Amino acid sequence: MTANINLPRILRIGAEASQMLPATLKELGLSRPLLVSDAFIVSLGWLTKLQQQLDQEGIFHRSFTGVVPDPTTDAIYEGLAVLRENQHDCVVALGGGSAIDTAKTIAAMAERDQPIRHYKVPQTLDDGLPIIAIPTTAGTGSETTRVAVITDTETHEKMLCMGFGLMPVAALVDFELTMTMPLRLTADTGIDSLCHALEAYVSRRANPFTDTIALASMTAIAKHLRTACREPDNRVAREAMMLAATQGGIAFSNASVTLIHGMSRPIGGLFHVPHGMSNAMLLPAITEWSISGAPSRYADCARAMQLANASDSDDQANQKLVAGLRQLCADLQVPTPASFGISNEEWRQAIPTMAQQALNSGSPANNPRIPNAEQIAELYQGVWTN
């Protein structure tokens, strides 16, 4: 089997990488960026810093700061209006996954007239304006993927959009931007990264290129996530988590996510649970259910995360994996859907829709053990309280 690997053309990784925007634009022959960000990033002063860099170099720019969490089609149409007013030649994202996914979709929709829902998977968005991503969370990995997740304002469906038009041409990955991330965001985005790496490794579309990256990512997250949460100023932990998040993004973009993400998106879309947190709600139970489809692969994950060692059998390693994931979620105070405030009645009523949306996304088909709609419904019911 041939593995198809897609990456940004330019990856700059390390302290101060975010200060290299003017140089990166010049390198790419771009001169009229639209900056896309959100109110939180604006309040931290980081957008102003970026604007000052561009001003110093005499580069024309405008900003759209209407990014919302769980980016909506409405927010993208607003950003598109700004883009079209000023004839920009590229889009720069500054923020977490929501800002990056918004910027990516604005760029890919620049020349398109149909509603965004027309382009969701299985359709593709294969061209658009160049995108430069500057992530501020160690999390989504969106800076290295050709995926965007957009919530349809009318239907509340979290739509998966894919295509080369959504792949950033450059990513400036600067861990110093994550030093002020609050604890909950650090925990949720860190578990999102862990899911990316773990799902990519056990995916039916895993390949030797993504395997090494996914394992390295899991090792680093297991070692540094708790520290990054406990000690927000710990540069070693922050730097390791940022690299692991980018690696997780590269791994899943080239091997796909599986059942956890497939089931997580509908929870986010219907109940507004943050993306990483809805993954975390599912991580131990879905892993436990899926292990029989690829026991040796899951055992590799347990060993990479140092939850098990070489002398453990695969079976022992996998028991330790599930226990270790449960402990991680407990340590990071991940709620259940019930303790998040979703009533059993609401949850049960939503299950058929969530199961159908999960299946439609295609992600469950990459899982080592492939579920049908009924099994997905049972899994949803099972995670409500544990």
User: Which residues contact Fe ion by CB under 5 A?
Assistant: 192
Q: How far is the CB of 243 from Fe ion (least distance, A)?
A: 17
Nearer to Fe ion, 33 or 95 (CB): 95
Q: How far is the CB of 273 from Fe ion (least distance, A)?
A: 13
Nearer to Fe ion, 20 or 216 (CB): 216
Instruction: Give the residue at shortest CB distance from Fe ion.
Output: 192
Nearer to Fe ion, 265 or 320 (CB): 265
Q: How far is the CB of 41 from Fe ion (least distance, A)?
A: 20
Nearer to Fe ion, 101 or 239 (CB): 101
Nearer to Fe ion, 101 or 192 (CB): 192
Nearer to Fe ion, 192 or 288 (CB): 192
Q: How far is the CB of 359 from Fe ion (least distance, A)?
A: 18
Q: How far is the CB of 196 from Fe ion (least distance, A)?
A: 6
Q: How far is the CB of 210 from Fe ion (least distance, A)?
A: 15
3-state SS record for the chain: CCCCCCCCCEEEECCCHHHHHHHHHHHHCCCCEEEECCHHHHHHCHHHHHHHHHHHCCCCCEEECCCCCCCEHHHHHHHHHHHHHCCCCEEEEEECHHHHHHHHHHHHHCCCCCCHHHHCCCCCCCCCCCEEEEECCCCCCHHHCCEEEEECCCCCCEEEEECHHHCCCEEEECHHHHCCCCHHHHHHHHHHHHHHHHHHHHCCCCCHHHHHHHHHHHHHHHHHHHHHHHCCCCHHHHHHHHHHHHHHHHHHHHHCCCHHHHHHHHHHHHHCCCHHHHHHHHHHHHHHHHHHHCHHHHHHHHHHCCCCCCCCCHHHHHHHHHHHHHHHHHHCCCCCHHHHCCCHHHHHHHHHHHHHHHHHCCHHHHCCCCCCHHHHHHHHHHHCCC
